[in-house]
Amino acid sequence: MFRALRNLARLARIALTLARYDALFPLDRLGFTAPFARALRLVARLPGVRRETGELRPGERLAAALIALGPSFIKFGQSLATRADLIGDDIANDLSHLQDRLDPFPSADARAIVAAELECSLEDAFQSFDDTPVAAASIAQVHLAVTTEGAPVAVKVLRPGIETKFDRDLDLFAWIAEQVERNRPDLRRLKPREVIRTFARVVAAEMDLRLEAAAASELADNFESDPSFRVPAIDWQRTARRVLTLERIEGIPIDERARLVAAGIDPDEVLQTASRAFFLQVFRDGFFHADLHPGNLFVAPDGALQVVDFGIMGRLDMATRRYLGEMLLGFLESDYGRVADVHFRAGYVPADQSRDLFMQACRSIGEPILGLPLSHISIARLLGQLFKVTETFEMEAQPQLLLLQKTMMVAEGVGRQLNPDVNMWELSRPLIEDWMRENLGPEARLRGAAQEIWQGVERLPGFMANVERLAAIVAEKGHQLHPDTIARLLDAEGAHQRAARSGALQWIIAALLAAILLTLVFKTF
């Protein structure tokens, strides 16, 4: 009861802030503000209360309100930018540009946190430590420094007390999600509680900077032999839960085309590099940087791409990558039957839905987009339109694909700033086709079948050991079936005979397993 009262009071204050920015529509849609909307809007019109929103779009007004509400809401707004199925394409697009910038906290606090986390004085770790941060966001801020060894570095420091603030707000978000699922059964398919759990996991990872360091290290390992894509090295000796120290990089922000040209760097080559790097992250590695806005991408003097800020990363398992590849291939070849089949095969569309109707819906999505001039084709828009059919066909939300779609949307925006006449996905088409051939062609199916067979063979000794243990139990205690059955077994056989039958059971099961393996082999060929 206390939790409900506390959260209702906070929700009222949040609703008032939304009303001040004329951004009540998210709560209106959830049915929360219907009894109070008129009163809130009247209060919001009072002198000194209403904020001037001018000609801002609804999504822009919502972004302004979220900034006013503080760090948790800024981060949540950025998370919602991946859920066009929840809030619509236009609002999702506006939220994707939500700037995570706040006033910096005092440098004295930053110095104290660094010393406490590294368990040494600041002077023992750094020759110099700039008091003015170069960036200040909702969770942390970044200071430039030089280590005692003379290496220039960037030091990321968590905001004081940020964990407590986020815990309080996450409890509110979870409570709202519970109310939505309880009172709006039609919205349960969107998994609001799962949305909040996913958001909580992302925030937890961002507030342990050791995890961000590990993500950067993994990405660096994936591109270790590729000089065109660089990840700053981690200074592990100066990294802890609330402090991250990494190599300082120098470069031109990727969206500053004029500066690139003036520096003698070809924007088209940068776009080619960015396209290739993104493809390799998604399809080759299944581990991708999911916050690729221009503030995190820099171009080195030699044209190499440099990336920073590894708090939000995405993962795709091989099954999801194959689904994604086959689905995209189906769209690009206008094979909408294939697109439909891969959705049903992956279990994304329930089996009781109509394949033909879903195929028709896929055609209605693909034809308007793929019929555009090459430079105007947006794969991110195609995926966004595809996810919008979730309500009609009861598809469950796929958070990993929604995160990918948001990342692709931002990447496309960067690509158009570099060259509006070039399609970045067309640049990586040869890589995509090679990956498709290797992972979706006949050779890949043969390898997959062979791997399944080998895995079965590898499990066979353990399986047989379990059978032997079962046989020993049967031999010693009898099989626990119906009492009449046990009585007949005990009357008809002695312990030695039961053991012999158990040995035969091993061979019967082994023969069945061999038959299954042979069936897989012949089915493959």
pLDDT per residue as tens digits for the range 55-88 = 788 888 888 888 888 888 888 887 777 666 667 7
Strands 287-289 vs 243-247: parallel, antiparallel or unpaired: unpaired
Residue 284 carries which DSSP code?
A: I
pLDDT category at 397 given cuts 50, 70, 90 is low
Q: Residues 128-175: pLDDT tens digits?
A: 999 999 988 888 999 999 999 999 999 999 999 898 888 888 998 898
Are 380 and 482 contained in the same domain?
A: no
pLDDT category at 440 given cuts 50, 70, 90 is low
Which tokens hold the place of 340? 């439909």
Phi, psi of 298 (to 5 degrees): -130, 150
d(CA 510, CA 463): 9
Are 297 and 414 contained in the same domain?
A: yes
Average predicted confidence (pLDDT) for the chain:
80
d(CA 320, CA 100): 30
The answer to whether residues 326 and 338 touch, using CB atoms and an 8 Å cutoff, is yes
Phi, psi of 236 (to 5 degrees): -65, -30
Which of 117-131, 230-244, 454-468 has the weakest average pLDDT?
A: 454-468
Q: Is a pLDDT exceeding 90 seen at residue 456?
A: no
> What is the CA 445 to chain-centroid distance, rounded?
28
pLDDT category at 489 given cuts 50, 70, 90 is very low
Cross-strand partners of 314: 288
Structural domain of residue 316, as residue ranges? 250-440
Position 520 scores a pLDDT of 47
Are 329 and 345 contained in the same domain?
A: yes
Measured at the CA of 181, the angle between CA 179 and CA 186, to 5 degrees, comes to 130
Which of 253-257, 334-338, 458-462, 491-495 has the weakest average pLDDT?
A: 491-495
464 or 243: which carries more pLDDT confidence?
Answer: 243
- Closest to 170 measured CA to CA, from 95, 70, 87, 91: 70
Q: Is a pLDDT exceeding 80 seen at residue 39?
A: no
Position 233 scores a pLDDT of 96
- Closest to 243 measured CA to CA, from 305, 153, 172: 153
Are 227 and 336 contained in the same domain?
A: no
Position 261 scores a pLDDT of 95
- Answer yes or no: 341 catalytic: no
Distances (CA, A) of 78 to 67, 281, 403: 11, 21, 11
Domain boundary among 406, 421, 440: 440
Q: Is a pLDDT exceeding 50 seen at residue 486?
A: no
Are 134 and 194 contained in the same domain?
A: yes
Are 336 and 259 contained in the same domain?
A: yes
Domain boundary among 77, 100, 123: 100
Strands 252-253 vs 243-247: parallel, antiparallel or unpaired: unpaired
Residue 282 carries which DSSP code?
A: I
**Where is 129: in which H helix or E strand?**
strand 126-129
**Where is 39: in which H helix or E strand?**
helix 37-44
d(CA 56, CA 22): 10
Q: Residues 264-312: pLDDT tens digits?
A: 999 999 999 998 999 899 999 999 998 888 888 999 999 999 999 998 8
Are 125 and 67 contained in the same domain?
A: no
516 or 41: which carries more pLDDT confidence?
Answer: 41
Are 121 and 62 contained in the same domain?
A: no
Position 7 scores a pLDDT of 80
Once rounded to an integer, what is the mean pLDDT over residues 430-439?
77
d(CA 489, CA 482): 11
Residue type, 72: S
Domain boundary among 386, 417, 440: 440
Phi, psi of 289 (to 5 degrees): -70, 120
The answer to whether residues 302 and 283 touch, using CB atoms and an 8 Å cutoff, is no
Are 113 and 185 contained in the same domain?
A: yes
- Tally the domains of the chain: 4
Measured at the CA of 65, the angle between CA 68 and CA 313, to 5 degrees, comes to 85
Are 84 and 171 contained in the same domain?
A: no
d(CA 356, CA 502): 51
Position 525 scores a pLDDT of 46
Which one of the listed residues 85, 100, 169, 291 is annotated catalytic? 291
Are 254 and 286 contained in the same domain?
A: yes
Once rounded to an integer, what is the mean pLDDT over residues 117-121?
95
Are 162 and 254 contained in the same domain?
A: no
